[in-house]
Structure 1
Amino acid sequence: MTSVVSLENATLIHPPLFYINGLYNIPYAKYYYMFLCFVYTVTILGNSFIMGTIYLAHALHTAKYIAVVNLALSDLFGSSSVIPKYADMFLLENQYISYTECLTSMFFIFLFMTLQSYTLLALSFDRVIAICFPLRYHAIVTKTTMTLIIGVMWLFSVSLITIYVSLITRLSFCRSTTVDSYFCDHGPIYRLACNDNFPNMIMAYLYVAFVLFLPLILIAISYVCIAFALYKISHGAERIKAMKTCTSHLTLVAMFYLPIFSVYITARATYIHPNTRIINSILTQTIPPMLNPIIYTLKTEEVLQSIKVLYKRMKVNFAMEDPVKIIAKN
């Protein structure tokens, strides 16, 4: 039953359910579902592996890897807030979601997307200090400093997304409740309202400005500073070595921001089919969390070395325990 909320000057109509129309009309949806299940499985294993490696390897107990753990957590929980609901929609053909569950889902999806963006900014701070001020790096980028940065990031993100989502509650839905997206997306939902949605539109622009454009601009500025610092390095070998420390972060930045901006650009093109936008959007939200731990594992020498050390330690421990087991059996 539709809930009606009475205010002094208006009566708000909150529907009991929203209908998520997203992937219903997409051809060969079952293959797409199988692919997303694979992506989600690799995301869980990859991010759990990178967090486990950082926890077990004492060499990685540094300020930089506090941010890496935060990115892995954001990737893991961000994917978990999207794909399981899609599995429920596909397997049980349950495309309805309650009003409260919709707002809760929206909160967590946008929260972890925001944290992913700001964590990439925190990692760029680490790189710019390491290359531009190498002698002062350990004095500036400490565990306390990075923990404080991550804490402020969480506080700001939670506050921003709380306002972002709570503004939906002032909207009245007296017409369609069909959401043309694969989740409770902010834009498609506020456009369904039959009362004034101007504050929601302004908040949507502010979100894009503060969560996408501002971090990307600051990351770009940090790499301009890094480029000047590398230019001053006289030895080519040292310059290449310094550049290699940035490759994993630059790859993560490109994978996160470029697909998102491509989705925003194509979303304004009237000739793009809605299904194409939906598929692009969900791939944008699920592929980077899967690839991030793989990139950090393959492109970061510290992580590779730590994995080798842990592997050798496990072999030694197994070899030491094996004779004990044999004696115990006898």
Structure 2
Amino acid sequence: MEGGNQSGVSEFILLGLSDEPEQQRLLFFLFLLMYLITGLGNLLIMMAIISDPHLHTPMYFFLSNLSLADICFTSTTIPKMLNNHISKNRTIPYAGCLTQVFFFILFGGIDSFLLTSMAYDRYVAICAPLHYNTIMTPKVCVLLVLVSWSWAITNSLTHTVLLTRLSFCGHNQIPHFFCDLSPFLKLACSDTYINDLMVYTVGAPTVFLPFIGILISYAHIFMAVMKISSVIGKQKVFSTCASHLTVVCLFYGTVIGVYFSPTSTHIAQQDIAATVLYTVVTPMLNPFIYSLRNKDMKGALRMLIIRKLGFTL
């Protein structure tokens, strides 16, 4: 991939989140803690779903895939950031930067489509419960996940390959804690028109099409819930939807704000803060929001810990 960089720039400098030593130490321990919680929480979710036959349903199948994607998503950026704090070396090779861009876009795209698949699963369960088993078959679930991966890989590969045709003329400081596409493009001294065009023609559908699918699913869910006479039944459905919608708003709201709002309105620190929300905070909260409030998941986690560690809860 280095063949497209004709400027001689062999590495970039990640400026990180702060230049203050005390803030850097605080951020190091904070991000390390969030990374460990994210990894442990999502790993436990995956193990509980695999080990409990009662959780071998479409909803938990999508959840296990989301947990895997979230572990990979955070592993793309946080370990490098933590290593930079320890080594005091903020540089990242040109090829390493391209690799980070590729995997960041890849797992972000997979997250986007999996959230939509989970919304569709809830739509079928609530709006067509009698046909749920015939619609959400294992074949359909696997197909939805394969489509998620295929689209995400195509999108990520497109942006990464186009980056290799750009030249970089000396300025190599990235005002971020990882190689994100938007600040990376701003360093190029060659024309980025095609790259910017692909962000809106290839990248935008990866965000907006799933988001629209979620909105349509919840519009039908809302109309179905309004027909339920039981107040308790309505509250139960709305409670489940509220958890998913919280993550959807957090994820899509920050992604759209960072990548698809007018560049004139962008402030670097605000963009970084928004990026932290969907790259670090959301993957950390997902196990709690989707699973730990669920009685079936609590039971599966309890049995998993008892079997594996010999603990009693």
Taking structure 1 as the reference length, the TM-score comes to: 0.85
Q: Is the alpha carbon distance of 1:308 and 1:31 closer, same or farther for their aligned partners in structure 2, counting shifts above 3 Å?
A: closer
Alignment match, 2:80: 85
Q: How many residue pairs align between the two structures?
A: 309
Amino acid aligned to 1:30: R
Whether 1:298 aligns to 2:302 is: no
Task: Give the AA of the match of 1:173.
Answer: F
- 2:114 is aligned with what amino acid? T
1:279-317 CA deviation, whole Å, 9 max, x = no partner?
4422431011111011123322331233345567779x8
Amino acid at match of 1:289: P
Q: How do 1:218-237 and structure 2 match up within 5 A?
A: 218-237=213-232
SS in 2 for 1:290: helix
Distance in 2, matches of 1:14 and 1:66, equals 46
Contact 2:109 2:206 in 1 (8 A): yes
Q: Specify the alignment match of 1:327 in structure 2.
A: none
Identity of aligned pairs, percent?
Answer: 35
- Partner SS state of residue 13, structure 2: strand
C-alpha distance in 1 between matches for 2:41 and 2:270 = 28
The structure with the larger Rg is 1
Aligned counterpart for 2:63 among listed residues 68, 71, 76 = 68
Aligned to 1:183: 178
The gaps in structure 2 that reach 5 residues or longer are none
Cα deviations by residue, 1:71-120 (Å, 9 ceiling, x for unpaired): 00111011111111001111101211111111111111111111111110
Q: Specify the alignment match of 1:95 in structure 2.
A: 90
Query: Hey, what does 1:269 align to over in structure 2?
Result: 265
Q: Output the CA distance in 2 between the equivalents of 1:278 and 1:206.
A: 24
Q: Contact 2:166–2:191 (CA<8 Å) still a contact in 1?
A: yes
CA contact (8 A) 1:22 1:278 kept: no
**Secondary structure of 1:15 counterpart:** coil
Secondary structure, counterpart of 1:19 in structure 2: strand
Does structure 2 retain, via aligned residues, the 8 Å contact 1:102–1:184?
yes
Q: Which position in structure 2 is the counterpart of 1:118? A: 113
In 2, the alpha carbon distance for the partners of 1:241 and 1:269 equals 40
C-alpha offsets along residues 101-150 of structure 1, whole Å, 9 cap, x if unaligned? 11111111111111111110000010010111010001101222101110
Query: Compared with structure 1, are the counterparts of its residues 244 and 287 closer, same or farther at alpha carbon in structure 2 (3 Å cutoff)?
Result: same
CA distance in 2, matches of 1:283, 1:318: 34
- Quick one: distance in 2 between partners of 1:14 and 1:221? 49
Counterpart code for 1:39: M
Shift of 1:203: 1.5
Aligned twin of 2:48: 53
In 2, Cα distance between equivalents of 1:310 and 1:99: 43
User: Per the alignment, do residues 165 and 314 of structure 1 end up closer, same or farther by CA in structure 2, a change over 3 Å counting?
Assistant: closer
Compared with structure 1, are the counterparts of its residues 20 and 171 closer, same or farther at alpha carbon in structure 2 (3 Å cutoff)?
A: same
How many angstroms apart in 2 are the aligned matches of 1:162 and 1:204? Answer: 12
Residues 262/187 of structure 1: CA separation in 2 closer, same or farther (3 Å cut): closer
Structure 1 pair 13–35 and aligned structure 2 pair: CA distance change class (3 A) = same
Cα contact 1:77–1:112 (8 A) shared by 2: yes
1:154 maps to 149
Q: Does 1:128 align with 2:90?
A: no
Q: Residues of 2 paired with 1:14 and 1:123: CA distance?
A: 46
Moved more, 278-287 or 136-145: 278-287
Q: 1:31/1:143 Cα in 2 relative to 1: closer, same or farther (>3 Å)?
A: same
Aligned equivalent of 1:287, options 250, 275, 281:
281
Per-residue deviation, 1:276: 4.4
Secondary structure class of the residue paired with 2:179? coil
Q: Is the 8 A contact 2:45 2:301 kept in 1?
A: no
- CA drift at 1:24: 4.8
1:252 and 1:189 map into 2 onto residues whose CA distance is 27
User: 1:217 Cα deviation (Å)?
Assistant: 1.7
Say whether 1:33 aligns with 2:11.
no
Which residue is equivalent to 1:217? 212
Aligned counterparts of 2:80 and 2:305: Cα–Cα separation in 1: 36
Q: Which residue of 2 aligns with 1:325?
A: none
**Matched residue of 2:171: which SS?**
coil
What amino acid does structure 2 have at the position aligned with 1:45? L
Partner of 1:307: 301
User: Counterpart of 2:159?
Assistant: 164
Query: 1:143: which partner in 2?
Result: 138
Q: Is contact 1:175–1:194 with CA below 8 Å preserved after alignment? A: no
